[in-house]
Each structure stands twice: as C-alpha cells, then as structure tokens.
Amino acid sequence: LQFTEEKLGQAEKTELDAHFESLLARADCTKNWTEKILRQTEVLLQPNPSARVEEFLYEKLDRKVPSRVTNGELLAQYMTEAANDFGPGTPYGKTLIKVGETQRRLGAAERDFIHSASINFLTPLRNFLEGDWRTISKERRILQNRRLDLDACKARLKKAKAAEAKAVAVPDFQETRPRNYVLSASASALWSDEVEKAEHELRLTQTEFDRQAEVTRLLLEGINSTHVNHLRCLHEFVESQTNYYAQCYQYMLDLQKQLGRFSGTFVGNAESPSPAAATSPPAVAAATIPAVPTIPVVPTIVGVPNTVAEGVLNPNEVKPPASGTRKARVLYDYEAADSSELALLADELITVYSLPGMDPDWLIGERGNQKGKVPVTYLELLS
C-alpha cells in the first residue's frame, strides 16, 4: 500500500542522504560497465557465439568445457596434410610445412592467452557480478522494504494523532444518535493507545532501517576495493595480451627469415619490379643484376649449341661480368638437376649474376671454382 501510494504521489517518502545516493549511483555504474566489459572481452576471446553459448552451458551444468582446436592449429593441420600430398621435399611442400608449424605455434600462443585472460581477468569480473553484486542487490532490497515499513509507520502515526485530536474536539455524546454515541473521554483514550502503539512501531522500524542502511552503506563503500581489484586484474590482462602479441610477432619474424622475405628479396623480371619490392626496406631491397654486355665467343662443338638463349649452359665457358656481381645467401638446400646447375646448401654464401637471354627465374652462381645456374627463389640477395 505504501509503495503504491508513493508511486501515485499520495504518500511521503523518506529520502536518503546525498552521500548514500552517490554510493548507490557509483555501484550501479560499476555493475553496468563491468557487465559490458565482461561481455565484450568474451567476444574478443571467443568470436564464435555458438561456442560461447556452449561454454556457458557447460559452466552452468558444472561440467568441464571440452578442449577446442584453435583456428591457427586447424590451419596448421591442413597445411601439413597438403605438404604431405604435394611432397614434403618440393619447395611448395617445404614452405607449407614451415608456415604450418608457425601457425601451430600461433594457435598454441592464442590458447595460452585465452586461458590466462580467462583466469586473471574474466573470472574476477564474473565473481563480482555473481557474488558481491548479488549480496549488494539483496541488501538494497531489504533496505527498500525497511524504508517502506518506516514510511508506513510514519503515516499510521500521523493518522492516529489526527484522529486523537478530532476525538478530543467532539462533545461528550451525540443526542441524535443515542444508540451509537461515543464518549469523548473513551474515544480520546482509545486513540491515545493507538498513538502509543504507532510510536512504538515507528521506533522499531526506525532502528531496523538505520541498521540496514549502515550494512548497505558498508557494502557500497566496498566498491572502492572492487575497483582496486579490477585494476590489478586489468594490468594482468594487458600483460598477458602483450606477451601474446610479442610471441606472435617473434614467430612471424622467424617465419619471414625462413622464407627469405619473398615480398622484397627475390629478383624477378628486372624491367617490371613488383610493388612489394619497391616498398621493402633499403637494407633488403632487391636490385637488378647487371647483365653481361657481350657473350664470350666459344668454340663451336658439334651438336651442342653455344648460346645461353638456347637454354644450354657450359659453366666453364661463362665469364663473370666486370661489375655487377652480388653476394646471395642460400635459403634452402637445392640438388642440381644436371651439370649446368649448381647444387646449393642452406645458409651458404655464393656470388651471383645474370646473363642476357636467361630465364628471369634463374641466375649464374659461383662457389669457388664451381659454377652453374641457380633458382632465384632459393636465394636471398644481399646488399
């Protein structure tokens, strides 16, 4: 009845002090933003809504969440299987294996980051909403009931005093209604007892209200310690996220070194450089290998062409240019297909240069007294 009359504006309401109201507003603000941060962090760690619902159900059923393969680990599995089908010894197969291994490491790092963030950040936020906030909400509801009881007692006392004053003002008896007359003294005594009862109930409800208000105030002031705890958890979340991205960056740097930075270090057609090569760092940018202006004249051998354009190369007949040779680091082992090619070992340094009419995917390589064609995709040209 008191609540309804307050909503209709027919009853007075006990107002809390300004400090208490500010504590209530701060608590509500903390609860609302904690919910939003919690939900969005869950989306960040698990973008799949179906997987989030599944994890939520497992948690509510108090069952262990099944282990789930990350996208990076699944991609690594596909790349490894593809490399086995294409041939792990081929350049494409070797590259697939290396990229797949990096994706597997990225997936494992992502799994560790999700686990760390869940324990150090999500769990404290969830514990606050499901623990401390529920306690605060319960005590606030009790305080609301105590306040309604207090205001109801105030209204009852007010009505009893008004009736007592009216009973004192009426005559001793009403002659026009002899059967229902009421002596003023008896009425005054009756309402006096009612006033005493109302005052007694008011004192009790006031005591209960003050006690509950103090309990609720202490809980609301504990929001400050909640902020301190959440601040510590936020630092741990940032630290775990930093470690995760640092691991990813290091893994990708290692992979890029293994692959020889395909975007900027390999020489293709010298007349049409790729945009990636034009924007690569100066330290590793590819440069055109100067071609030999003339091809030395060699004795004609019966049945054997003596021009590079015809695709046959005699290493002993090739002379390096006076200028324009470059050093190159070998990225992968390479087995020579015939006597015109030079076998390569990973990480060794050789001298390379180009000849007119050659396939742009090949260069002439020299190692000591050995000489032959080498594929550019197996080299990293050094400045």
CB atoms within 10 A of CB 157: 19
List Cβ<8 Å contacts ≥24 apart for 320-324.
320/292, 320/351, 320/353, 320/364, 320/366, 321/290, 321/291, 321/292, 321/293, 321/353, 323/290, 324/289, 324/290, 324/291, 324/353
Please report, for residues 31, 67, 131, 252, 345, the alpha-carbon distance to residue 230 in angstroms, rounded to integers and kept in the order given: 12, 28, 14, 33, 55
One-letter amino acid of 307: T
Q: Which top CATH class is 1-170+186-266?
A: mainly alpha
Instruction: Please list, in sequence order, all residues whose beta carbon lies within 8 angstroms of the beta carbon of residue 70, skipping any fewer than 6 positions away.
Output: 107, 108, 110, 111
Please report, for residues 80, 159, 205, 211, 279, the alpha-carbon distance to residue 200 in angstroms, rounded to integers and kept in the order given: 83, 15, 9, 17, 87
Beta bridge partners of 185: none
One-letter amino acid of 133: W
Chain centroid to Cα 292, Å, comes to 56
C-alpha–C-alpha distance, residues 56 and 49, integer Å? 10
Instruction: Please list, in sequence order, all residues whose beta carbon lies within 8 angstroms of the beta carbon of residue 185, skipping any fewer than 6 positions away.
Output: 172
The domain limits of the chain are 1-170+186-266, 326-382
Please report, for residues 86, 244, 308, the alpha-carbon distance to residue 101 in angstroms, rounded to integers and kept in the order given: 17, 17, 40
Contact of 113 with 244, CB cutoff 8 Å: yes
Question: Running DSSP on this structure, what letter comes out for residue 326?
Answer: E
Instruction: Please list, in sequence order, all residues whose beta carbon lies within 8 angstroms of the beta carbon of residue 219, skipping any fewer than 6 positions away.
Output: 132, 135, 136, 139
DSSP string, 59-110: HHTT-PPPP---HHHHHHHHHHHHHHHH-TTSHHHHHHHHHHHHHHHHHHHH
pTM of the complete model = 0.59
Of the CATH numbers 3.30.540.10, 3.40.50.261, 3.40.228.10, 2.30.30.40, which one belongs to the domain with range 326-382? 2.30.30.40
Digit-by-digit pLDDT tens for the chain (383 residues) are: 777 776 777 677 788 889 999 999 999 999 999 999 999 999 999 888 887 787 777 777 777 777 778 889 999 999 999 999 999 889 899 999 999 999 999 999 999 999 999 999 999 999 999 999 999 999 999 999 999 999 888 888 888 888 878 776 765 444 445 444 445 556 667 777 888 888 999 999 999 999 999 999 999 999 999 999 999 999 999 999 999 999 999 999 999 888 875 433 333 333 344 443 333 444 433 344 444 444 444 444 334 344 444 445 565 566 666 557 889 999 988 988 888 899 999 889 999 998 887 888 889 999 988 899 999 989 998 87
**For residue 175, what pLDDT is reported?**
47
DSSP string, 120-179: IIIHHHHHIIIIIHHHHHHHHHHHHHHHHHHHHHHHHHHHHHHHHHHHHHS-S--TT-GG
Element (H, E) at 330: strand 326-330
* Residue where the block lists tokens 């015809």: 310
**For residue 306, what pLDDT is reported?**
43
**For residue 188, what pLDDT is reported?**
65
